A and B are shown apart, each in its own frame.
Chain A
Amino acid sequence: MLEGTIVDLVPFEDDYATYLKQWMNEESWFRARPFDRREPHTEHDVKKFIEDMEKSDHGQLIGFQAKNGDPIGGLLYDHEWTRVRKAAAIFFVGDMRYEGSDEVLDGLLMLLRYSFETRGMHRMDASVLAFDETRLDAYRRAGFVHEGTLRQHVRWDAAYVDLHMLGLLESEWPGYAQIAPTLGLQASDLEPKPKPEPEKKDEKKDK
């Protein structure tokens, strides 16, 4: 576990895998991964995604949760390019009650802390659909710089929309301990969700 101000980063354990079946079909997922095709994700897709990330030498799938243990969503440290020391910083909000909250911002800050202060990255990449002010605001508050806009780059709901390209350099990152206190992070204090039911074992095997 890596402890932040109002969220903690944790391994993507069983509860997260259960939640992900729902999260991978929600709006925040598709906004976080704008090149993915908009299509239903089955249990098989979810399992494969988690397995692929666990096997990846260039990425990590990390859960982030409120201080009361309530899972909020996922952080993707992805596409690490070792020679150049850069990677992508992606977050998705699973529990939409937290959309636009300081918990999400703290999750992103903690991902950057991990990227710069643990993995030793030189720069982090991000991209945001141009209409998605909420995501853009989180990246901006975390210090990302707008580096360009790829015109009409993504097909989205009957239109071709622009994609903003963002970046944050190691030299621009003040350090988590320095930036977090300046942002006045406030916990939402939401009631935790009920825990998901444990997976039922295949009963046929016993028959």
Chain B
Amino acid sequence: MLEGTIVDLVPYGDRVKDLDYGWLNNESSFWGAGGDRRFVSRAAHNTRWEQWIESPDRDRSAEIGFAIQTKAGQIIGYVGVTWLNHTHRLALLGEKIGDPAYWSRGYGSDALMLLTDYVFDWLDMRKAWALTTSMNARVMRMMEKLGYTFEGRNREGTLADGQRFDWLYYGILREEWPGYAVKAAELGFTGRTE
């Protein structure tokens, strides 16, 4: 659907559903949820998908999700708008690379560049924003590399393995985003293959 340099953003499907069961129970959830650890059964996972992702009643005006697929066809995580606010033209973004083997290798950056482009060029949003925690140096580096501005922190707003960490807010305005092609080239993504 949205073609990047090393990943494409594609619709959710049964492949994502199967993989997501593992991701919910591995370290990616700990990082994605700011330190939470869940024990999710297969049955609970199926119910969650039926009631949320696949539900016909789901409010599709407020959220949009993509699976992240490598050029080799491997689904490695998901990225999307978790809260789309049309009044303020704000898009709150979220991302999870569920398979740790793909961390710190540019896949998350490529996917987030595609999504940033999408919310400005297709959804006509004015600002994209995202949160991470002060324990997540990988994501902090990625946000800064992509041109997001650090705008504030929610001190001691989360708890991970007995320690308090801050939530960090990052934002980028439409006029600050140079476009996927320019940013990808700047970061050395152009022409890069797996």
Q: Spell out A's residues near B (CB within 8 Å).
A: 35, 37-38, 83-86, 122-123, 125, 145, 147-155, 160, 165, 167, 169
Nearest CB of B to A171, in Å? 9
Please name all residues of chain A whose beta carbon is closer than 8 Å to the beta carbon of B157 when the two chains form the complex: 84, 86, 123, 125, 167
Pairwise interchain contact A147-B154, C-beta atoms closer than 8 A: yes
Nearest CB of A to B3, in Å? 30
Q: Spell out B's residues near A (CB within 8 Å).
A: 34, 36, 85, 87-90, 126-127, 129, 149, 151-159, 164, 169, 171, 173
How long is the Cα–Cα vector from A148 to B131 in the complex, in angstroms?
Answer: 13
- How many A-B Cβ pairs are below 8 Å? 66
Known contacts A37-B87, A155-B89; A149/B151 CB under 8 A: yes
Pairwise interchain contact B151-A84, C-beta atoms closer than 8 A: no
Query: When A and B form their complex, which 7 residue pairs have the shortest distance between CB atoms, in order from nearest?
Result: A148-B152, A165-B152, A155-B88, A37-B87, A150-B151, A147-B152, A167-B155
How long is the Cα–Cα vector from A148 to B149 in the complex, in angstroms?
Answer: 12
19 pairs of residues in contact across A and B, judged by CB atoms under 8 Å: A38-B87, A83-B36, A84-B157, A84-B159, A122-B156, A125-B157, A145-B155, A150-B151, A150-B152, A151-B151, A151-B171, A151-B173, A152-B127, A152-B173, A153-B171, A154-B88, A155-B89, A167-B154, A167-B155
How long is the Cα–Cα vector from A125 to B88 in the complex, in angstroms?
Answer: 21
Pairwise interchain contact B149-A151, C-beta atoms closer than 8 A: yes
